Amino acid sequence: MSLFKKIGSKASKVGRETADKGVEKVQDKATEKVEGWQADLLNKVTKVEKHIKGKIITDFNTFKTEWEKAAGDPRQTVLFFLIAAYNYMTDKKVGENMATVVLPKTFLLTNTSSPTGFKLNQRGDGYLLEHMRENPRIVNSYLGGTPDNNYKIDPANIDMHVVAEATVETDATIKVQSAGKDLDSPCFLRKNNEGQWKLFGFSSIATGVKKTEQEKGDF
Give the pLDDT confidence of 6-57 residue by residue, as tens digits.
444 444 444 444 444 444 544 444 445 568 999 999 999 999 999 999 999 9
Domain ranges of the chain: 35-216
Distance CA 174, CA 195 (A): 17
Check residue 90 and give its pLDDT.
94
pLDDT band at 212 (very low <50, low <70, confident <90, very high): confident
Nearest to 174 by CA among 160, 182, 190, 163: 163
pLDDT band at 68 (very low <50, low <70, confident <90, very high): very high
Distance CA 4, CA 148 (A): 40
Check residue 31 and give its pLDDT.
41
pTM of the model: 0.84
Q: Write down the mean pLDDT value for the chain.
A: 88
Check residue 32 and give its pLDDT.
52
**Segment 182-207, tens digit of pLDDT:** 999 999 999 999 999 999 999 999 99
Check residue 57 and give its pLDDT.
98
DSSP state of 207: S
Check pLDDT > 70 for residue 4: no
pLDDT > 70 in the chain, percent: 84
Check residue 215 and give its pLDDT.
79
Alpha carbon 135 to its chain centroid, in Å, reads 11
User: Residues 26, 206: contact at Cβ < 8 Å?
Assistant: yes
DSSP state of 107: G
SS3 for 114?
A: coil
Distance CA 108, CA 195 (A): 20
**Segment 123-175, tens digit of pLDDT:** 999 999 999 999 999 999 999 999 999 999 999 999 999 999 999 999 999 99
Helices and strands (H, E) in the chain, number of each type:
8, 7
